[in-house]
Amino acid sequence: MDYGLSPRERAWRDEVQAFIAEHVDERLVDETRLRGNEGRGAEAQRFLGALRQRGWDRIAFPEEYGGLGKTAIEQWLFIDEIETAGAPMLPLTLTSVAPTILRIGDEAQRREWLPRIQAGEVDFALGYSESEAGTDLASLRTRAELDGDQWLVNGHKMWNTMAHMATHNWLAVRTEPDAPKHKGVSMLIVPMDAPGVSVQPIHVWPGLRTNAVFFDNVRVPRANLIGERGLGFYYAAMALNFERLSIGSAGMARRIFDALVREVRVRVVDGRPLRGDPWVRDRLARLRVELDAARLLGLEVAIRLDRGEVPAAASSMAKACVSELAQRVADTGCEILGLDGQLHAEEPSALVKGRLQWLYRLAPMLAFGGGTNEVQRDIIGFMGHGLPRK
Amino acid sequence: MQLEPTLEQAEMRRAVREFCSREVTIERLLDWERSGVGVDEATSRKVAGLGWLGLGLPAEAGGGGASLADVAHLIEECGRGLLPRPLLARMRGALGLAWLAPRSPTLAAVARGERTVALALDERDAREPAGWRTRLAADGCHVSGDKAFVPDAEAADLHLVAIGAPERPRFVLVDRRAPGVSCAALHSFGNEPQAHVSYREAAVLEVLEGGLDFDDWRRHQVALALAEMIGGMDAALAATVGWVKEREQFGQKIALFQAVRHQVADMGTRFTSARHLAWQAISRLASGSLGVTDFHSAAAWTGASFKQICWTAHHLHGGAGFVVEHPLRFHSERAQSLCIRWTPEAPALARIAATLLD
Ligand SMILES: Cc1cc2nc3c(=O)[nH]c(=O)nc-3n(C[C@H](O)[C@H](O)[C@H](O)COP(=O)(O)OP(=O)(O)OC[C@H]3O[C@@H](n4cnc5c(N)ncnc54)[C@H](O)[C@@H]3O)c2cc1C
């Protein structure tokens, strides 16, 4: 066993770290933090431009489509470093939708969409969830009917994050109403400026915006149905699979934890260094242990991907573990900071830039979103340990 | 044992519940949050008119003369109904004044709802009263120092300011509008109005004496927090039970998933045990029969339970409970900020350990 990086991996990590040292500064981190999901600011555009220049925007692409040929472990190292640095992650358009189109689209579709995605002309919102179709995604009702050479789309999507800024929606629609529910869904690309699309904002607790999006007789060219009809549920799962490495990454929790540790090191309370308090030491040490463990669950996902396995149980472990750990980091952090822990990120005097308070508000979503943790635990049970399903 | 509220207490609880369900709507909560002042004038006047601010004040001063337990019942319902936090801060302030100085000449105006009191206790880098650096001038008539995170500081008429002293803190009353008093508003959880306040040779209206000693006074304040938390967690639990019975996924109510039922069961167990620990502490404090660890156990368990219950409530609600218009997040915010201010777990556990081991 050797948990050290291979020379190739080390060289890659060093390269990523050098890139971060050159391109990630306080301004970029602050902008990323303050913007939340309200689009990329000038700093983020610059950062993405630099990534593009190196071809790193295609890190999730297979080699034959201009990808870097990076192993999953190398991709995991990349995500871990970027997240830990607090730089913006690559957009899901590049890390989730594009690799899916590459795998399922026909040649014409690949030629149509990939160059535009790479040029930054096309940015997707991910339109899976509906009011009544959350965890049970396959019960979605937004429908598309073929009318001549066009799809006619009607229905609505909930929680369609980025829809107010995206150029297109990567939309799961029911095209085969008579098929069993998992087999009646297809993936359709819908331009956001098509007549009949309307967007309503939804504001959520951590200060982020998402949207309800309505489709009223929206017409879309027939060729915008990507892959095969009726396989959309599996394509959505495939697209989610590509997010696995980042969903299970402990990088963000680790970054906020590290910032908390830096603060505790210098903070003096009641005339004594806070770092001398036994309970503070104990809690921070415990969190560090949990973060170390969670990070290696992320590695487990990458190892299995590199072995050509579908790492269902491993990624469920990482996702459930990291999301619940984020909540403990937030809660413990707020407690350690005391009354300062309740200050909002917008408050200039907030310690750790109000990140603990923000994470306290964000963390619940990490557990129920991206596949709720009960379902993750089911997957660990039956995929990881062969427990019977029925 | 008498574990049920008396008839009068039950009646008062019902009245508060009705008031909150009528007046504290989600639209208003959002308006109050946006306004930055936490509550509007009309609602403040209504609550003052109901006599809640003066309920626990001595009858001689025109207050309701109610016991700590009575007041805790009131506050529990206010926590459940999400009564605006500045109003809860004013109740605390009024009681804080009465508990420290039961014969204060200011109490009558406070009992009538004409003047409100903010508690200016904490300082930025001091968690123990021994570290408070706010000082009384040698003439005993002026106060100087910086208080942090003072709830309702800007709107209150009076500040009850804690003075650091080697043995035990003392308290004075200062007019919020007196020369030398300045507030800097803070942006905190749920936009609860709080401020850092600086006092520079500010004139003292009264030195507060004749009431509870500091430790006992603080326990009374914590008792109010415990009651508020019990109300909040009851509301979060009830909302969750209602939701899981209504929400369907995979063609069935999510309440039918065993994993969901277990979480609701754990919430219920946590709530029931926290409510007993909290009320045991409150009633024993009121009757002067507090056991050595009663209070610390209640503080440690109730605070942690409130946060845990809110966390599970969010989880079981999914996206529907995550929008800013859902009351759940108000409870979650209060859970964390009440814990931080009144029932941090670590010092409570340290005191229990000291009782066990030292
Ligand atoms: C801020 C935000 C942004 C989002 N962005 C997007 C986006 O861009 N695109 C998109 O498509 N979606 C998005 N989502 C939706 C997200 O993926 C859903 O919230 C998630 O799938 C859960 O669905 P739900 O909210 O309907 O909760 P529900 O499905 O109602 O689940 C609620 C709870 O019920 C329980 N439960 C449900 N099913 C089971 C089961 N089988 N076994 C045991 N327990 C169960 C769990 O406790 C679960 O947490 C976003 C959500 C939020 C809040």
Q: Is the domain of B255 the same as that of B331? A: yes
pLDDT value at position B56?
Answer: 96
Residue where one domain finishes, among candidates B88, B111, B134: B111
Q: What mean pLDDT, rounded, does chain A reach?
A: 92
Q: Is the domain of A56 the same as that of A27? A: yes
CA of A236 to the centre of ligand 1 (A): 15
Q: Is the domain of A186 the same as that of A159? A: yes
pLDDT value at position A60?
Answer: 81
Instruction: Tell whether the model's pLDDT for residue A246 goes beyond 90.
Output: no
pLDDT tens digits, one per residue of A37-62: 666 789 999 999 999 999 998 888 87
Best CA proximity match to A252, nearest among A13, A80, A117, A18 = A80
Total domain count, chain B? 3
Q: Is the domain of B142 the same as that of B66? A: no
**Mutation test of the interface with chain A: which of B262, B336, B342, B343, choosing the one with the most A Cβ atoms within 10 A?**
B336
Look up the domain containing B96 and give its range. Answer: 7-111
- The 3-state DSSP class for residue B123 equals strand
Q: Is the domain of A217 the same as that of A311? A: no
- Of all residues in chain A, what percent carry a pLDDT higher than 90? 72
Instruction: Tell whether the model's pLDDT for residue B345 goes beyond 90.
Output: yes
Q: Is the domain of A214 the same as that of A271? A: no
| Residues of A (230-269) whose Cβ lies below 8 Å from B | 267-269
Ligand 1 site, residue A129, Cβ cutoff 6 A: yes
Q: Whose CA is nearest to atom 13 of ligand 1?
A: A159
Q: Is the domain of B156 the same as that of B273? A: no
| B232 belongs to a structural domain | yes
Q: Is the domain of B184 the same as that of B286? A: no
User: What CATH number does residue B194 fall under?
Assistant: 2.40.110.10
Q: Flag if B318 and A135 touch (Cβ within 8 Å).
A: yes
Given a contact cutoff of 8 angstroms between Cβ atoms, the answer to whether A316 and A247 are in contact is no
Q: Is the domain of A75 the same as that of A204? A: no
| A237 belongs to a structural domain | no
pLDDT tens digits, one per residue of A80-110: 899 888 888 888 898 889 989 998 999 999 9
Greatest mean pLDDT among A56-70, A303-317, B326-340: B326-340
- The 3-state DSSP class for residue A221 equals strand
pLDDT value at position A378?
Answer: 96
Distance in angstroms (rounded) separating the CA atoms of residues A371 and A352: 30
pLDDT tens digits, one per residue of B191-238: 899 999 999 999 999 999 999 999 999 999 999 999 999 999 999 999
Residue of chain B nearest A131, judged by CA positions: B320
Q: Is the domain of B46 the same as that of B107? A: yes
Listed in sequence order, the residues at least 6 apart from A26 whose beta carbon sits closer than 8 Å to its beta carbon are none
Q: Whose CA is nearest to atom 4 of ligand 1?
A: A159
pLDDT tens digits, one per residue of B109-158: 999 999 999 999 999 989 889 899 999 999 999 999 999 999 999 999 99
| B2 belongs to a structural domain | no
Q: Is the domain of B14 the same as that of B138? A: no
Residue entry with tokens 């326990």: B219
Q: Is the domain of A191 the same as that of A146? A: yes
| B149 belongs to a structural domain | yes
| A110 belongs to a structural domain | no
CA of A152 to the centre of ligand 1 (A): 27
pLDDT value at position B168?
Answer: 85
CB-side neighbour CA atoms (13 Å) of A270? 11
Residue where one domain finishes, among candidates A44, A64, A90: A90
| B221 belongs to a structural domain | yes
Q: Is the domain of A191 the same as that of A135? A: yes
Among A217-221, B163-167, B261-265, B349-353, name the one with the lowest average pLDDT: B163-167
Ligand 1 site, residue A231, Cβ cutoff 6 A: no
Q: Is the domain of B53 the same as that of B146? A: no
Q: Is the domain of B166 the same as that of B266? A: no
The letter for the amino acid at B282 is I
Distance in angstroms (rounded) separating the CA atoms of residues A93 and A122: 8
| A107 belongs to a structural domain | no
| B60 belongs to a structural domain | yes
Q: Flag if A372 and B318 touch (Cβ within 8 Å).
A: yes
Q: How far is B112 from chain A (nearest CA, A)?
A: 32
Burial class (CB in 10 A: 0-12, 13-18, 19+), B229: buried
Total domain count, chain A? 3
Q: Is the domain of B28 the same as that of B127? A: no
| B182 belongs to a structural domain | yes
pLDDT value at position A30?
Answer: 83
| B256 belongs to a structural domain | yes
Residue where one domain finishes, among candidates A31, A66, A90: A90
Extract the tokens encoding A191.
């331009």
- The 3-state DSSP class for residue B308 equals helix
Q: Is the domain of A138 the same as that of A73? A: no
Whether A22 sits among the annotated catalytic residues: the reply is no
Extract the tokens encoding A38.
């309200």
Residue where one domain finishes, among candidates B191, B208, B225: B208
User: What CATH number does residue B57 fall under?
Assistant: 1.10.540.10
Look up the domain containing A18 and give its range. Answer: 7-90
Q: Flag if A361 and B346 touch (Cβ within 8 Å).
A: no
Q: Is the domain of A255 the same as that of A310? A: yes
CA of A317 to the centre of ligand 1 (A): 18
Q: Is the domain of B77 the same as that of B197? A: no
**Mutation test of the interface with chain B: which of A281, A368, A387, A389, choosing the one with the most B Cβ atoms within 10 A?**
A368
Instruction: Tell whether the model's pLDDT for residue A250 goes beyond 80.
Output: yes
Strand partners, A169: A125, A190
User: What CATH number does residue A195 fall under?
Assistant: 2.40.110.10
Q: What mean pLDDT, rounded, does chain B reach?
A: 96
Q: Is the domain of A380 the same as that of A282? A: yes
pLDDT value at position B73?
Answer: 97
Among A295-304, A373-382, B217-226, B343-352, name the one with the lowest average pLDDT: A295-304
Residue entry with tokens 């394509």: A235
Q: Confidence class of residue A1 from pLDDT cuts 50, 70 and 90?
A: low
pLDDT value at position A39?
Answer: 66
| B20 belongs to a structural domain | yes
Residue where one domain finishes, among candidates B186, B208, B230: B208
Q: Is the domain of A316 the same as that of A365? A: yes
pLDDT tens digits, one per residue of B168-181: 899 999 999 999 99
Distance in angstroms (rounded) separating the CA atoms of residues A78 and A246: 10
pLDDT value at position A88?
Answer: 87
Distance in angstroms (rounded) separating the CA atoms of residues B52 and B45: 11
Mean pLDDT of B16-37: 95
pLDDT tens digits, one per residue of A322-349: 999 999 999 999 999 999 999 988 888 8
Q: Is the domain of B218 the same as that of B353? A: yes
Residue where one domain finishes, among candidates A35, A69, A90: A90
Q: Is the domain of A256 the same as that of A206? A: no
Q: Is the domain of B253 the same as that of B191? A: no
CA of B353 to the centre of ligand 1 (A): 42
User: Of B124, B186, B319, which has the smallest distance from its Cβ to A347's Cβ?
Assistant: B186
Ligand 1 site, residue B251, Cβ cutoff 6 A: no
Interface ipTM above 0.85: yes
Distance in angstroms (rounded) separating the CA atoms of residues B335 and B231: 11
